Amino acid sequence: MSKSEIQSKIAELKMDYVRIQGDIEKLESTGHGVTKAEEQLIRLEQELQELNELLLQHN
């Protein structure tokens, strides 16, 4: 994976993360589906960490 591909994937994941955070705020008001959304955030955080480590190796 090239440096630019990694950076693009990181940007995409960050947008997904922000979207899911907004979804969680909506879900909290109804009390439904929060756990699944939180699990998605954890998965995204792990993937972002891996990609950031990979990006550091490209520098």
Write the pLDDT tens digit of every residue in 7-25. Answer: 999 999 999 999 999 989 8
pLDDT value, residue 32: 79
Structure tokens at 41: 């955030």
- State the Cα–Cα distance between residues 48 and 59, nearest whole angstrom: 17
* pTM (2 d.p.): 0.84
Share of the chain above pLDDT 90, in %: 68
pLDDT value, residue 28: 85
3-class SS letters over the chain: CCHHHHHHHHHHHHHHHHHHHHHHHHHHHHCCCHHHHHHHHHHHHHHHHHHHHHHHHHC
Q: Between residues 28 and 13, which one has the greater pLDDT?
A: 13
pLDDT value, residue 17: 95
